[in-house]
Structure 1
């Protein structure tokens, strides 16, 4: 059921034909053709209609009724959706970068995989032009942005402004909320399982009964937040998880390990970093860490470009948001590892030759690979059985004989030909 129109404001009901014509003129404007005009849906009723895949960047939806609209894959970058009613709408994979959603209602909307980078979802008021005062407040009550029950799983909300939003029981699982503003937000019983809240401002936020399992809270501001009955199992904070590498002779350990690799075991010694928090290393770019044992270790955010980790034991390790571009991970054991949001472009994850006729495939069974980038990576014979590949990018990757049995593939790109 839609919210009633603002007092003194009527909504013009549009048909699907009306909407299609407005969208066509907007397309002509964007392609610099004759007859183009910006799409203006201000205070119109589009409820139940479709703009699937349409380019509506910079369009005006101020105060529009859009209950149950089909906006899948629509391009709404920089659109003005101030005070719009989007209850129950389908915004799956929509692009809403820097959109103005102040005072809007997203109650029960589906924004799975949507891109809301720097979007504004703060509270707002509906106003109208007035000759004497410039603007006249139509609604005297400040409208909080409503997203209760909304599905934002895997959505990109980096640097978005959500201060004061009401998002009780909303689903933010695996969402990217880096540097987002959530000051005084009502997030009771919301699901943030696996979400990246690094650098987010949660000051005064209400997270009673929320699910923050495996969430990234590195650098987050949490002053006066309420986390009564909040599940924070596995959440990554600024506090060291396990043994802090700063308390270990890690420089000597890595040097000894590199020497051990270079001499075929003749000198040096293999290093064991099991369950260690390695974040203070900052960078291991280009290091030779072949056969390293770092089970359950935390590598979060490290620069690991071109690192050599062939045959490494990395079961359950946290490698989220790491730069693993061109890394050599042939034959690595990454069972249950977390690689969400990591850059693995051109990485080598194919089989490791360990004998004349023996190959050791890489094992990523049950790994968390959401939003990871495997473009042009070598994944031949890799086992990704039961892994979460949601929204991961496999464009132009080598995927011969890859095993994706039981894997979650929602929104993954480049896997169309893989059975």
Structure 2
């Protein structure tokens, strides 16, 4: 295909038809069809072109200009995007697992909910070597990855290599950045609200003026990290985020035993557990724990295993249950108003009403709860109060929502009206 005048850097300008043909041949190549060929868009001009939903795993986009291109929903796993220009590109929901994005330009790109697990976003350069293996010249040196103003909301950047990345003013709201290498990265004024940076290496990184509201930095390396002017309200690190367990007045195991006695004896023995405001992360596990009626308002349960726990009538208003494993838990009649449940696993959990007598029923309250990215598949939510709850990206496949009150809720699932229904 002939080069066209005006193409950036003299790159070949490809037509949409030529792109479609290349994508087809790549599909044949990946499926072992005779005549198939791996897609190579290296050093081509693909400005504004559409690749929506295409499977381009292992394709070569080295140095390509994809300015404003539509790659929404594409599969670009292990693709080579070295030094590519993706400014303003649409990569919403794209899969870029282990993709090579070294030296890429991502300013203004939209990578909302994209999967960049183990992707390489470090500095990039291609060197020419002589016959003895010595570097004699830099053939292509695009420099550090630049993603100023990019949208990374809800993106998965776990284990991604981002050392030296220029990511100031970038939006990482709700991003999963577990184990991410951010050594010497520039994240000044970035929005990291609710981001999970557990185990990330931020050595020498700049977080000046960044929004770290409710971000998780447990196990993160912060050697010489500049956090001056950053908003760290609600940030969760390795230090207790609330009252430490040694202020309970007894070992937590004893408090749980006493509560179990209180439940099984109908209050005649033992003692009601009140964990309000405590950081319970050091408990380790609450698997199938007997926590009926427990009081734990604003307590921190982050990441705890609470599968199958019996928590009917529990008072959990404002509690931090992010990443908690609550699969199959019995939460009938519980108060979770304002609770943080982002990424919590609530599959098959029971959040229906607690029935005392025929005329005494206590619906569960999730009013104003933050359920973004939570998994509620198969959960029972009959008559639950979800007024003002944040349900964006929440999984509700197969959930029972009869009689739920979704007034003013965000991200209401299909088939569930934003108002109280009969039940």
- Please tell me the TM-score bracket, short chain as reference: over 0.9
Unpaired segments of 5 or more residues in structure 2?
1-5, 418-423
Picking from 411, 415, 418, the partner of 2:416 is 418
* Partner of residue 96, structure 2: 96
How far 1:246 sits from its partner (Å)?
3.7
Structure 2 vs 1, CA of residues 28 and 402 (structure 1 numbering), >3 Å: closer, same or farther? farther
Contact 2:104 2:142 in 1 (8 A): no
For structure 1, which segment, 23-32 or 71-80, has the greater mean C-alpha deviation from structure 2 after superposition?
23-32
Distance 1:318 1:333 in 2: 13
Q: Are the equivalent residues in 2 in contact too, given 1:83–1:126 (CA < 8 A)? A: no
Instruction: Tell whether the 8 Å contact from 1:89 to 1:109 is kept in structure 2 after alignment.
Output: yes
Counterpart of 2:143 in 1: which secondary structure? coil
Does structure 2 retain, via aligned residues, the 8 Å contact 1:113–1:391?
A: no
How far did residue 376 of structure 1 move?
1.5
Choose the corresponding residue for 1:351, options 344, 350, 353: 353
Aligned to 1:230: 230
Structure-2 residue corresponding to 1:317: 319
Q: Which residue matches 2:169?
A: 169
User: 1:211 Cα shift?
Assistant: 0.4
Moved more, 90-99 or 355-364: 355-364
The answer on whether the counterparts of 2:7 and 2:13 sit within 8 Å (CA) in structure 1 is no
TM-score, reference length from structure 2: 0.92
Q: Distance in 1 between matches of 2:134 and 2:393?
A: 45
Report the 3-state secondary structure (helix = DSSP H, G, I; strand = E; otherwise coil) of the residue aligned with 2:205: coil
Please give the per-residue CA displacement for 1:51-70, whole angstroms capped at 9, x wherever unaligned: 11111111111111000011
Does the 8 A contact of 1:274 with 1:294 survive in 2?
Answer: yes
What per-residue deviation string (whole Å, max 9, x for no partner) do you get for residues 247-266 of structure 1? 42122221111111112222
What do you get for the CA RMSD once the two structures are aligned? 2.0
Match of 2:300 in 1: 298
- 1:380 Cα offset (Å): 1.8
Q: Which moved more, 1:240-249 or 1:220-229?
A: 240-249
Mapping 1:1-400, distance limit 5 Å: 10-127=10-127, 137-139=138-140, 141=141, 143-248=143-248, 249=250, 250-400=252-402
Distance 1:269 1:360 in 2: 23
Contact preservation (8 Å) 1:63, 1:126: no
Bigger shift: residues 221-230 or 126-135 = 126-135
Number of residue equivalences: 409
CA distance in 2, matches of 1:130, 1:51: 38
| Cα deviation, residue 349, structure 1 | 1.2
**Mapped partners of 2:22, 2:134: distance in 1:** 28
Q: 1:102 to 1:354 in 2, by over 3 A?
A: same
Residue 154 of structure 1 contacts residue 174 of structure 1 at CA under 8 Å; is this kept in 2? yes
How far did 1:77 drift? Answer: 1.0
Following superposition, the deviation at residue 294 of structure 1 comes to 0.4
Which range moved further: 148-157 or 383-392? 383-392
Contact 1:125/1:137 (8 A) holds in 2: yes
- Deviation of the 1:229 alpha carbon: 0.7
Segments of 5+ residues of structure 1 without an aligned counterpart are none
Q: Deviations over 1:127-163 (max 9, x none)?
A: 5798886985223x56000110001011111111111
Q: 1:383/1:35 Cα in 2 relative to 1: closer, same or farther (>3 Å)?
A: farther
1:361 Cα offset (Å): 1.6
The superposition leaves residues 192-225 of structure 1 with CA deviations (integer Å, 9 ceiling, x where unpaired) of 0111111111111101111001101111110100
Three-state SS of the structure 2 residue aligned to 1:276 is: coil
SS in 1 for 2:124: coil
Q: Against the structure 1 CA distance between its residues 246 and 108, is the aligned structure 2 distance closer, same or farther, given a 3 Å change threshold?
A: same
Deviates more, 1:31-40 or 1:199-208: 31-40
Give distance in 1, aligned partners of 2:222 and 2:17: 49
Deviations 1:10-41 (A, max 9, x none): 41111111111111112222333333221111
Q: Give, in whole Å, the separation in 1 of the partners of 2:407 and 2:90.
A: 29
What SS does the corresponding residue of 1:359 show, helix, strand or coil?
A: strand
Residues 224-274 of structure 1 show CA distances to partners (whole Å, capped at 9, x for unaligned) of 000111100110111101211244212222111111111222221211110
Shift of 1:359: 2.1
Instruction: Tell me if structure 1 keeps the 8 A contact 2:83–2:142.
Output: no
Report how far residue 385 of structure 1 moved: 2.1
The CA deviation string for residues 259-307 of structure 1, in whole angstroms up to 9 with x for no partner, is 1111222221211110001000010111110111100000111111111
